[in-house]
Amino acid sequence: MIAKKLATPALLALALCGCSTLSDLPTDRVGQASLTLANGVPAGTAQLLSNGTTVSIAIAVTGIEPGPHGFHLHTTGKCEAPGFTSAGGHLNPAGRQHGSENPSGKHLGDLPNLVVGANGTATAEFDLAGTRDQVLADIFDADGTAVMIHAGADDYRSDPAGDAGSRIACGVLRPA
């Protein structure tokens, strides 16, 4: 009986050793961007990461006001200061509305708010909706894609841009 009680946990532990999650899969960097503030000061980096079937975006920023900030992919890979309007609207290849709380949303450019700490820094990683090949085709199309941080929080429902305020940091995504 004692041998049976000891064998069951040992077998369970052995079985769990073979389990893995998506985060355990090998990840390749497939894209990157250097973000700058409107005054040209470097603000951080963004990386596109792929585990072979999906894509995520990892971001690390500094010099940003503390609090939540809208964080999006914009339709054109151009970041002309001071307003970064050259980046166009949100990346929305499927023609959906904006926001995870919008019944008709969300689109590819919608990302969760980036929460910046009291020290002005933040790091985060978010999955992008869609298959690897489709997401990368949409991001690396003829006019490229920009990563954008806004002054305020995205409300996750207002169409077309989430009422996140002015654009304060921008970077153009390039293939790695």
Let me know: does 147 contact 173? Beta carbons within 8 Å: yes
Question: Which has the higher per-residue pLDDT, 137 or 106?
Answer: 137
Residue-wise pLDDT tens digits, 62-107: 999 999 999 999 999 999 999 999 999 989 888 776 667 777 777 7
CATH code at 25-175: 2.60.40.200
CA–centroid distance for 60 within its chain: 11
pLDDT at position 108 is: 81
pLDDT at position 158 is: 66
Whole-angstrom distance, CA of residue 9 vs CA of residue 154: 47
Domain regions of the chain by residue span:
25-175
Whole-angstrom distance, CA of residue 77 vs CA of residue 174: 9
Let me know: does 45 contact 57? Beta carbons within 8 Å: no
Whole-angstrom distance, CA of residue 136 vs CA of residue 93: 12
Whole-angstrom distance, CA of residue 147 vs CA of residue 45: 10
Does the pLDDT value for residue 145 go beyond 80?
A: yes
Residue 64 structure tokens: 């940003």
pLDDT at position 31 is: 97
Whole-angstrom distance, CA of residue 65 vs CA of residue 73: 20
